Amino acid sequence: MLELRNVSLQLGREGHRLLNEVSTVFPQAHFAAVIGPSGCGKSTLLKVIAGLREPTEGTLHWEGRDLAHHDLDPHETGYVPQFSIAYDLLTVRESVESALRLRVAIGGDACEERVAEILNHVGLGELRDRRVQVLSGGQKRRLALAMEMVTSPILLLADEVTSGLDPKAEDEIVRLMKRLSSEDERIVLSVTHSLRHAELYDSVLVLHQGRLAYHGPANLLYHYFSVHDPDDLFPRLAERSPDDWHDSWEKYREAFKFGAAAGMAPAGPRTESLRRLFRLPAPKKPEGLKHGDLGGVPGSLTQFGILLARRWRLFLRDKGQVFLNLALLFGFPCLVVIFAWDGLPQIKNLSMGSQTNMLRQLAEQASYQQEAARTGGLVSGLVMFQVVLLTLMGSNNSAREIAGERLVFEKEKYGGVRPVSYVMSKAAFLAALVAAQSLWMAVFVNVICHFPGDFVSQLGLLALVNAAMTSVCLGISSLARTAEQASLISVYLVGFQLPLSGAVLALPGFIGWITRPFIAAYWSWSGFLQSMKDTRVYDIVQDVTRTHLSAVPLCFWVLGSHVVSGLVLAYIGSRNSRWE
Q: Higher confidence at residue 303 or residue 63?
A: 303
Amino acid residing at 282:
A
**Best CA proximity match to 131, nearest among 289, 318, 408:** 318
536 and 402 housed in the same domain: yes
Secondary structure letter of residue 72 according to DSSP: P
CATH number, domain with residue 253: 3.40.50.300
pLDDT tens track for 189-239: 999 988 888 889 999 999 999 999 999 888 888 888 888 888 888 899 999
Is 545 inside a domain boundary?
Answer: yes
Backbone angles phi, psi at 380, to 5 degrees: -60, -40
Please provide residue 534's backbone torsions phi and psi, each rounded to the nearest 5 degrees: -90, 15
Question: Which has the higher per-residue pLDDT, 370 or 490?
Answer: 490
User: Whole-angstrom Cα distance, residue 140 to residue 61?
Assistant: 32
**Residues 306, 436 within the same domain:** yes
Domain boundary among 270, 285, 311: 270
Closest CA to 473 of 404, 528, 412, 418: 404
SS3 26: strand
Give the mean pLDDT of 542-551: 78
Does residue 147 share a domain with residue 122? yes
Mean pLDDT of 298-310: 95
Of 111, 127, 153, the last residue of a domain is 153
In this structure, the answer to whether residues 237 and 105 fall within a common structural domain is no
Q: Is residue 540 part of a domain?
A: yes
Least confident of 72-76, 220-224, 353-357, 576-580: 353-357
Q: Which amino acid is at 442?
A: A
Q: Is 230 left (phi over 0), alpha (psi -120 to 50) or beta?
A: alpha
Q: What is the pLDDT of residue 269?
A: 38
Mean pLDDT of the 453-458 span: 92
Residue 310, pLDDT above cutoff 70: yes
CA 26, CA 213: separation in Å to the nearest integer? 16
pLDDT given for residue 373 in this prediction: 62
* pLDDT tens, residue by residue, 103-137: 998 888 889 999 999 999 899 999 999 999 999 98
Q: So what's the pLDDT on residue 548?
A: 79
CA 446, 451, 452, 458 dihedral sign is: negative
Task: Work out how many domains the chain is built from and give that number.
Answer: 3
**Residue 248 within a domain:** yes
Contact 89, 133 (CB under 8 A): yes
Whether 131 is covered by a domain: the verdict is: yes
> Percent of the chain, pLDDT > 70?
84
Position 433 in a domain: yes
- For residue 372, pLDDT over 70 is answered with no
| Alpha carbon 367 to chain centroid, angstroms | 59
Whole domain around residue 561: which residue ranges? Answer: 300-346+377-575
Distance separating alpha carbons of residues 484 and 101, to the nearest angstrom: 31
Verify that 241 and 332 share a domain, yes or no.
no
Domain identity same for 147 and 34: no
Count of other CB atoms within 10 angstroms of residue 354: 8
Amino acid found at 571 = Y
Q: Is the pLDDT confidence value at 50 over 80?
A: yes
Do 399 and 544 lie in a common domain? yes
What pTM was computed for the model?
A: 0.86
Residue 502: which residues within 8 A CB-CB, separation 6 or more? Answer: 512, 515, 516, 522, 547, 548
Is residue 240 located within the same domain as residue 325?
no
336 and 444 fall within a common domain: yes
- Residues 92 and 41 occupy one common structural domain: no
Helices (H), 137-288: 137-148, 167-181, 221-225, 233-237, 242-252, 272-278
The confidence score (pLDDT) of residue 545 equals 73
pLDDT tops 80 at residue 254: no
| Packing angle, helices 419-449 and 300-317, rounded to 10 | 50
The verdict on residue 482 lying in a domain is yes
Using CA atoms, how far apart are residues 534 and 530, in angstroms rounded to an integer?
9
Q: Are residues 322 and 420 in the same domain?
A: yes
Residue after which a domain boundary falls, among 130, 153, 176: 153
Confidence check: pLDDT of 498 > 90: no
pLDDT in the model for residue 557: 97
Report if residue 280 sits inside a domain: no
Condensed to tens digits (0 to 9), the pLDDT of residues 376-424 reads: 778 888 888 899 999 999 999 999 999 999 999 999 999 899 999 999 9
**Cα separation values, 527 from 373, 426, 464, 541, Å:** 20, 28, 11, 13
Q: Edge-to-edge strand order for the sheet containing 187-191?
A: 77-80, 155-159, 187-191, 30-35, 203-208, 211-216
pLDDT recorded at residue 281: 42
Percent of the chain with pLDDT over 90: 51
pLDDT at residue 80 greater than cutoff 70: yes
Alpha carbons 445 and 330: distance in angstroms, whole number: 11
Res 348 pLDDT > 60: no
Residue 445 lies in a domain: yes
Check pLDDT > 90 for residue 476: yes
Residues 260 and 131 in one domain: no
